[in-house]
Amino acid sequence: MSNFEDNQYLTFKIGDETFGIGLLNVKEILEYTHVTTVPMMPSFIPGVINLRGNVVPVLDVSDKFFRKKHSPDKRTCIVIVEVPESVNGARMDIGLIVESVYEVLSIPSSEIEPPPTFGSRIRVDFLSGMARQASGFILLLNLVRLLTVEELTALEETREEASHLTASNPA
């Protein structure tokens, strides 16, 4: 028997697609703010933000999936999510830059289909499923597989390095 919250998804727009993340993984939604650049990171990881004294790496989902940077506007948000398993087995917070947040939807398991084996514009291992809606599909993200082990390692190192810099140079 599944919990009601297990079928709740935060939906948001990236490019022409609607994506969803399990609500239990969403910690908060922030208005877009300045992201501090970290040298030598992949283009889809523009940097980090300071969230109440914690360094949180930020991922530009549009750049990661579609190789197109999104120019922030008044609807752009940073969705803070908790990735259940990072490199060292611990949980890790990541900020996802999204073009706009839509709503929280309850999606019954019966309406979620497995990702296709072809035809999607993104690698299907990033998806936990696809929810059929009247207006099309909602692509449901698998946060554990959103980033490769190498990318997660780089994010963890970036977060630790930025934390040390922040601690040694208080504002």
Global confidence as pTM: 0.82
Q: What is the pLDDT of residue 152?
A: 67
Q: What is the pLDDT of residue 77?
A: 96
Q: What are 48's strand-pairing partners?
A: 36, 57
CATH class of this structure's domain 8-166: mainly beta
The lowest-confidence range among 3-7, 27-31, 70-74, 131-135 is 3-7
Model confidence at 129: pLDDT above 80:
yes
Model confidence at 148: pLDDT above 70:
no
Q: What are 12's strand-pairing partners?
A: 19, 101
Q: Between 67 and 100, where is the model more confident?
A: 100
Q: What is the pLDDT of residue 28?
A: 96
Q: What is the pLDDT of residue 101?
A: 96
Model confidence at 133: pLDDT above 70:
yes
When pLDDT is averaged across residues 32-55 and rounded to a whole number, the result is 88
Per-residue buried b or exposed e for 69-90, using 16+ beta carbons within 10 Å of the residue's own CB = ebebeeebbbbbbebeebbeee
Q: What is the pLDDT of residue 162?
A: 65
